[in-house]
Structure 1
Amino acid sequence: MFRTLAIAAATATLAVPAFAEGHSVDLTATGDVAEGEKAFRQCISCHVVQNEAGDTLAGRNAKTGPNLYGIIGGKFGMVEDFRYSDINQLASEMDVVINEEVFVVYVQDPTGYLREITDDNGRSKMTYKVRKEEDAVNLYAYLASIATNPEAATDEGS
């Protein structure tokens, strides 16, 4: 039931025109930060969270996937010098802000989500799928707590 609501919420978010300058996007995290940190262990083989100063905040020096620093409140395809799949590059042109609803649906089915928003038949390079919706929500809260976009305001895991 919650997955259906999350998909509906993400679809509704994507159905509206791109956000005009001056409008804010709700980046509130509803998950558990500590549980998200535990769940992030499944991500460290591909991802790292490293700030602009080069400090590793989470993960190892993995380079299979992009650095996740600043992904919350950011957009698809925003990490410079990372070779994204063609479908992800199309998604970067969609101007979708990565909020909790988008993140949760995306990490549970990256290719399916990208195909839905781009209407393209490509594949995401991210083949791993987060199985439990609760883990996805908690991952979002964890990433929001350690690696927010400087302009993003989040609630660090209520």
Structure 2
Amino acid sequence: MKSKPTIGRRFLIAGVTLMSAAAASAAPKGDATHGQQLFARCAACHVIGATPGTRMGPNLNGVFGRKAGTLPGYTYSAAMKKFGLTWDAPTLARFLQAPMKVVPGTKMAFPGLSNAQDQADVVAYLKQYRANGTKK
């Protein structure tokens, strides 16, 4: 005959289940090498690294910690200027998933990266670069 779990044990089981679910839904660890390969799709419009300036899109050196729509020398859409968030890994991953849904009216005509691992990989690649284009 099995005994029923005590209230404390039920809470412990529920807590472990919730923690497992949260860990499973956490962003995957990024692979910068694969992110560099994926960035080839972005390179038509964006530059990163030692190459200065902008293309159709802004330079992405030091993008983390930068407020969206504020890189000097690049003309952003009104939508991106109003976006108002500062780029961090979760914000950029969400944007990479569906740019035109996250910032309706953005000039970024990119369908997005639907795969969370691909998003994390591009984020890991971009994180390597300081604002001056050197690697960390």
Structure 1: state its 5+ residue gaps. Answer: 10-28, 116-122, 151-155
Matched, 1:127 2:109: yes
CA contact 1:73–1:148 (8 Å) conserved in 2: no
Structure 2: state its 5+ residue gaps. Answer: 1-20
Q: TM-score by structure 2 length?
A: 0.69
1:88 to 80, 86, 92: 80
Matched, 1:36 2:31: no
Amino acid at match of 2:126: L
Q: How many matched pairs?
A: 110
CA contact 2:94–2:102 (8 Å) conserved in 1: yes
CA contact 1:114–1:124 (8 Å) conserved in 2: yes
CA contact 2:70–2:81 (8 Å) conserved in 1: no
Q: CA RMSD in A?
A: 2.9
Alpha-carbon distance in structure 2 between the residues aligned to 1:66 and 1:38 = 19
Aligned to 1:104: 93
Identity %: 26
Shift of 1:112: 1.2
Query: Aligned with 1:71: secondary structure?
Result: coil
Shift of 1:138: 0.4
2:120 to 115, 137, 158: 137
Shift of 1:31: 0.4
Amino acid at match of 1:85: S
Alpha-carbon distance in structure 2 between the residues aligned to 1:90 and 1:100 = 19
1:7-47 CA distance string (max 9 Å, x none):
xx9xxxxxxxxxxxxxxxxxxx9301111111111111110
1:1-158 equivalences under 5 Å are 30-50=29-49, 55-56=50-51, 63-91=55-83, 94=84, 96-115=85-104, 123-128=105-110, 129-145=112-128, 147-149=129-131
Q: Which is higher, the Rg of structure 1 or of structure 2?
A: 2
